[in-house]
Chain A
Amino acid sequence: MLTAVKQFDRKTREGILAKLALELGNPFADSSRTEEKVSDQEIYIRILDEIKERLNLNRPSISNEFARARVFEYLGNEIRQLALDSNHIAEARRRLGNKGLLSSRGYTVKFGPEFIDLSEPLGLPRSDVASVIATADLIEHLLPDHKGQDESNAVSLFVKTYQHAPDPYSILVDGNRKGAEIAVRCGLRIFHSDVDVTNVRSPLDLLRAFIDRFGHEFSVAQKTGKFFLYETIQIASPMASQKLVEFRQDAGQSFDTLIAFRKAGQSAVEIGIAYVINISQYAASLLQHGIRVTRKDIKLG
């Protein structure tokens, strides 16, 4: 703790140091604030002298870029220690994660059973998916509360595009976001020669384009479509007595159902995201592109 401010309580210390930092130069804040008369000049001088001494900046010159940066960093660390209780960091990260404000590398990546069973044997290793999440070109964190839904249905989509590969493609990752964790539900290698990506501007656009090409129509409680996103659907009878998702089983074809939902009382379900892939067509396309498909459950016609 800086001796110059040790007589003050924690909150006051934080305020003094914050004000000093803003006095030193603030490219962001209202410039009129720096015009304020500073009644605490003396204490600021003592703080700066102490910091310079601690940092061994023996020839202190605040205009010197190196010394200035060191002083700023020291001040920043002091303010952070006062303002951010270390016991609160995990909870703050969880909140940031839910809001989609963590950096991609800030999320812990886990692989859900759907990914392990359905996507990985389509030639998409976990390491590739982790790399896509960490270095995505496009990220879309969809916010369920904007649609009046529970945060357990938070969907995050990540896309990495390999435009300069001989056979250009993108990898799209669909994950369930829970705080600072992404549980990967589905990974798709999407070749641009298979899917019309002309108007794709976002991960959601790419998923919709993929579904246009490889999706299969299905029904959720009498509502029919190829793709559902953040919809609350009324159900006529208790869910246990009916299948949530129904679709036409074409002969010689296999289908993967990807659905994130939660019950909302006895008579409704909240769909986070739902789509059905004609996996026979998709796997056949991957094989044509030279991708090793090891799933045994797919009928390839």
Chain B
Amino acid sequence: MPGPLLFSTNPFIKLLIQEKYRGDKHYVWCSESFDCTKISAYSGASLVAPSSNPAEIYRQLKEECKRSEKHSARIREMRTTIQALASQWEANKEISTSDKEEIFVMASDPDLATYWKPLIYAIPRALVDKRLVTVPLSKRASFGIEYNIPDLTRYEFDIIELD
């Protein structure tokens, strides 16, 4: 039986962008467990790949920010993705050119500790159950179930940071 919470790990810059430039609608990928390695091996949630495990993403990002690791593969990939999205949003007239430029400036800021620090979103499942979109197996890194929520609002999740 699924737990009452869903978990998603996201860098702070993504929260900022979705809050300030995307009408406070947050697109997230989430899992039924925060740390899929800590649950029964016979549970479906334990099959979530490390690259999609919120706890693992949190640990990696936290460490990379702490070390100010400019060559972090994850951050480089996310930075390019954010820039590509901003470019598409502008092309689709969803944001202005000024907005796009601001997103690019934030995404390329060398201060990793501020913009890329990881945040855990704790999402009460009951609030979003009807809007959960199961990620097709072809898009998952493993068999473990993952969800998308395309339009999470800021009132539907709490943010946790771990020391």
Residues of chain A having any CB pair with chain B under 8 Å = 11, 14-15, 17-19, 21-22, 25-31, 34, 65-66, 68-69, 72-73, 75-76, 79-80, 83-85, 88-89, 92-93, 95-96, 99, 101-106
Q: Would you call A95 and B102 a contact (CB within 8 A)? A: yes
Binding site of A, secondary structure by majority: helix, strand, loop or mixed? helix
Q: Roughly how many angstroms separate A93 CA and B16 CA in the complex, as a whole number?
A: 15
Please pick, from A80, A88, A101, the residue contacting B108 in the complex, using a CB distance under 8 A: A80
Binding site of B, secondary structure by majority: helix, strand, loop or mixed? helix
Residue of A nearest to B139 (CB): A31
Supposing A31-B135, A95-B98, A105-B114 touch, asked if A15 and B77 sit within 8 A by C-beta, the answer is no
Please pick, from B86, B115, B139, the residue contacting A83 in the complex, using a CB distance under 8 A: B86
Q: Roughly how many angstroms separate A99 CA and B80 CA in the complex, as a whole number?
A: 23
Using A28-B27, A106-B109 as known contacts, list a sample of 9 further A-B pairs with CB atoms less than 8 Å apart, ordered by residue number in A.
Answer: A15-B87, A25-B77, A27-B29, A28-B85, A29-B81, A29-B85, A66-B73, A69-B73, A79-B80
Q: Would you call B88 and A19 a contact (CB within 8 A)? A: yes
Interface string of B62-106 (1 = CB under 8 A from A): 000000000101001111111111111011000000101110111
Question: Across the interface, which residues of A come within 8 angstroms of B104, CB to CB?
Answer: 80, 83-84, 92
Q: Roughly how many angstroms separate A99 CA and B73 CA in the complex, as a whole number?
A: 30
Question: Across the interface, which residues of B come within 8 angstroms of A25, CB to CB?
Answer: 77, 81
Please pick, from A29, A72, A96, A106, the residue contacting B77 in the complex, using a CB distance under 8 A: A72
Q: Roughly how many angstroms separate A29 CA and B78 CA in the complex, as a whole number?
A: 11
B2 located at the interface, meaning its Cβ lies under 8 Å from any Cβ of chain A in the complex: no
Residue pairs across A and B with CB atoms within 8 Å: the count is 120
B20 to chain A, nearest CB (A): 7
Q: Would you call A68 and B77 a contact (CB within 8 A)? A: yes
Q: Would you call B77 and A31 a contact (CB within 8 A)? A: no
B37 located at the interface, meaning its Cβ lies under 8 Å from any Cβ of chain A in the complex: no
Q: Would you call B106 and A96 a contact (CB within 8 A)? A: yes
Q: Roughly how many angstroms separate A34 CA and B105 CA in the complex, as a whole number?
A: 26
| Residues of chain B at interface, number, CB under 8 A | 40
Q: Would you call B84 and A17 a contact (CB within 8 A)? A: yes
Q: Roughly how many angstroms separate A93 CA and B104 CA in the complex, as a whole number?
A: 10
Please pick, from B20, B85, B114, the residue contacting A104 in the complex, using a CB distance under 8 A: B114
B3 located at the interface, meaning its Cβ lies under 8 Å from any Cβ of chain A in the complex: no
Q: Would you call B84 and A19 a contact (CB within 8 A)? A: yes
Please pick, from A30, A84, A88, the residue contacting B27 in the complex, using a CB distance under 8 A: A30
Q: Would you call B102 and A101 a contact (CB within 8 A)? A: yes
Question: Across the interface, which residues of A come within 8 angstroms of B108, CB to CB?
Answer: 80
Please pick, from B76, B84, B109, B136, the residue contacting A31 in the complex, using a CB distance under 8 A: B136
Q: Would you call A96 and B105 a contact (CB within 8 A)? A: yes
- Interchain residue pairs with CB less than 8 A apart (17): A18-B83, A18-B85, A29-B85, A30-B148, A34-B139, A69-B77, A72-B73, A76-B76, A76-B80, A83-B83, A83-B87, A83-B90, A84-B104, A95-B102, A101-B106, A103-B109, A103-B114
